[in-house]
Amino acid sequence: MNEAKKLDLQRQDMPKQPPHIRRSNFKEVALGYTPALAIREAQRCLQCKKPFCMEGCPVEIDIPSFIHKIAVEDYAAAIRILKQKNCLPAICGRVCPQEEQCESKCILNRKGAPVAIGRLERFAAEWEAAQDRVEIPRAAATTGKKVAVVGSGPAGITVAGDLVLLGHEVTLFEALHEAGGVLTYGIPEFRLPKAVVRREIKYLQALGVRLVTDYVIGKIKSLDRLLEQFNAVFVGTGAGLPWFLNIPGENLNGVYSANEYLTRMNLMAGFRFPESATPVSKHKRVAVVGGGNVAMDCARTALRRGAEEVHIIYRRSRNELPARLEEVENAEEEGVIFTLLTLPLRLIGDAKGWLQEIECQQMKLGEADASGRRRPIPVAGSEFRLPMDACIIAVGNSPNPLIPKSSPDLETSDKGTIRVDEKSGKTSKVRVWAGGDIVTGAATVILAMGAGRIAARSMHEFLVREG
């Protein structure tokens, strides 16, 4: 922009369902910008010559350009620009931690009011969906090369989307009955409606990706067998078995891993029980152990399922919560109780094996540890009990074991993650790439997508060169 522009520091708020309403329904909390709000927000963008925001984007979206198109009300052009780099804008606009990525680099962030890039991305994607004529970009001429993508979560769908546009024949394998990985089984409806995920998967299929569900690679077919049929394979199998606290009582009834609780509610639509057939018990008092986004998702789901009291139990203080601030605030507004500086010691059940109480200990913060966060230290003699009839353990998970177990020649770390070359996503096995949580351990949707993008580039180079 040539003429000097007055800085507009009025970041447009996201319209939301009010807390007292939304805490008892599963509809999406954030309602999305109206065109008027989107235009006002887009006009705040300074259109920097050297846009730092793009450095913060793992998938390298041309952020100033798409925002400019929104500002001039050319929404079709905005979505086209987004989709050049990101085949899942409706998802990323909702669940990326923009405050740590693009928005943290925005020049206006120095004044504390970065452009709401994520909200604008979501706006463009929703505008397109509402038009009911999604533009299908033309793929490059077919290369005749076949690619298998194992796992249809964020990493896998990015690889599939990128490679199909480059003219390769892509088959996407999913072990569950519905595609989307964590987007489908993990992230709740009120944060990412399943209809949005289905729309994005349909879009991939429209691009030419072949989707095969209920197909458990590593069991029905080994990587070696896949390599007989495909020129290259990407492994994005994500999360595996949940971690527990290793305290007494974790196998009591009423104790869930976050994976189980969320899968019951989301993938199996437990929140619609008995219309859906997979039950989720109604609990009155629910404790969620952990302080990440998954813990917030569990706590807010439990509220919506009708719990009277839901606690987040976390051993450090509010400042150290690993969840996005936005999610913490949403949970607080809805009435989740943050029982901080608290460590569960054991879970106590009744004679029939149902959870009744959680014995906890008070903690205080000591010196910073290797992670840079202040280490929690137990306060002697501070034990107390919380009556609870459910406890959801949300302290992370190991990588999925199926592929590493069935491919002994695939190099893994002692944590069970697949080792890759960071610059290419290449594994130790020829013609096999990997990315996402199976490589990094539990991380975010956009990091998995970024890893997918890197792997797709390397796979494409390989496929056109020698594949």
The residues binding another protein (CB under 8 A) are 175-177, 185, 213-216, 219-221, 239-242, 244, 250-251, 253, 256-257, 259-260, 263-264, 267-269, 273-279, 281, 352-353, 397, 400-402, 405
CB of 337 to another protein, least distance (A): 25
Of residues 321 and 402, the one with the C-beta less far from another protein:
402
Distance CA 315, CA 328 (A): 15
Of residues 64 and 254, the one with the C-beta less far from another protein:
254
Of residues 259 and 407, the one with the C-beta less far from another protein:
259
CB of 432 to another protein, least distance (A): 19
CB of 397 to another protein, least distance (A): 8
CB of 299 to another protein, least distance (A): 18
Distance CA 153, CA 239 (A): 10
Of residues 268 and 313, the one with the C-beta less far from another protein:
268
Over its C-alpha atoms, the chain yields an Rg (Å, rounded) of 23
β 169-173/374-378 pair status:
unpaired
Of the candidates 434, 424, 436, 435, which has an alpha carbon nearest to the alpha carbon of residue 460? Answer: 424
Distance CA 183, CA 446 (A): 11
Which pair of structure tokens corresponds to residue 102? 């693009």
Q: Are 302 and 390 in contact (CB under 8 A)?
A: yes
Residue environment code for 49-58, b if the CB has 16+ CB neighbours within 10 A, otherwise e: eebebbebbb
- What is the Cα 285 distance to its own chain's centre? 27
Of residues 261 and 433, the one with the C-beta less far from another protein:
261
Identity of the residue numbered 273: F
CB of 225 to another protein, least distance (A): 9
Of residues 86 and 257, the one with the C-beta less far from another protein:
257
CB of 431 to another protein, least distance (A): 22
Q: Are 75 and 128 in contact (CB under 8 A)?
A: yes
